[in-house]
Amino acid sequence: MKHNIVVIGSLNYDILVQQDRLPEIGETFTGNELMLMPGGKGANQAVQCAKLGLNVNMVGCVGNDIYGSELIKSLNENGVSVDNISQRGKTSGIGIVQILESGDYCSTIIKGANYLLTESDIHDGLFSDRPLLILQSEIPDNVVERAISVARRHDCQILLNNAPAREISSLALSQVDFLVVNETEASFMSKTSVTSVKEAMACAAALQQKVNGRVIITLGEKGAVLSGDAGARHYPAVFCPDVVDTTGAGDSFIGGIAYCLVNNIALEEAIPFAAEISSCSIQKYGGQSSFPMLPDVAHALTQNRQRLFG
């Protein structure tokens, strides 16, 4: 099967606790609800792409434990190819997520098998169909940079979601076609404050000088900023009447952007479309299970075209 997308990244089994607030240091606080489900930025992005009808090949590692088996099972059930997922070591990656009443969350990630992925797992055969490559930063940095280098040899488009934020070499960044980060990650990469739309626009323009293409900074309820050939532009957020859980919202957004890139839809249309998808995902608990299918959001493309281009 020809793959539209190759996702190289993390697979984590998520333990979600819904609670009214975070505990103070030294305090034992009672949560309201416990949920267990597959996650990880790489797997989440792969699933959202697949739910939008794309052919997706996931590359990563899980442990030889029950969580690893469940992670592979979930990808299979969502139509993601798992031929390049290895089971290594004892423990899969784990995400411990605390979800607050507002829908906001914080999380702790246990690396587990994600950091057993090596440069030798990145080979030319992954990119023979010239798919779009999606990367995040929950796997070793040398593997990320190796993937960028090999994909560039095959003239693949490269989308880097530098999350969680870490240092990326100037050479690797210069080969990235699309850099997508949130305000915290953008602030880390630029060494500047990013707390407003104005600051985000200036930061996106500065980061664009370091990449091969364009930069998107997501700003939550403030929308998103794109820095492209015509300069920086702000896109307002899609109204969401009922925010339940923002876990995986950024990964859902990436899936929407990827769908548009594969289908040659301009980023000017892609960002509102991806925001619509992300908005759908935060109205339910969890990550992959909350992600919408293409029929749920296809109307957004038509509406956006009318609004943007008349």
Question: Which residues form the catalytic set?
Answer: 251
> How many other CB atoms are there within 10 angstroms of residue 275's CB atom?
25
Phi, psi of 8 (to 5 degrees): -110, 115
What is the SS3 assignment for 165?
A: coil
- Are 153 and 232 within 8 A, CB to CB? no
Element (H, E) at 14: strand 12-18
Half-sphere exposure of 172 (CA within 13 A, CB side): 19
Helices marked H in the chain: 41-51, 66-77, 141-153, 170-173, 183-190, 197-208, 249-262, 267-281, 294-309
What is the SS3 assignment for 38?
A: strand
- Are 46 and 56 within 8 A, CB to CB? yes
Q: And the tokens for 307?
A: 């609004």
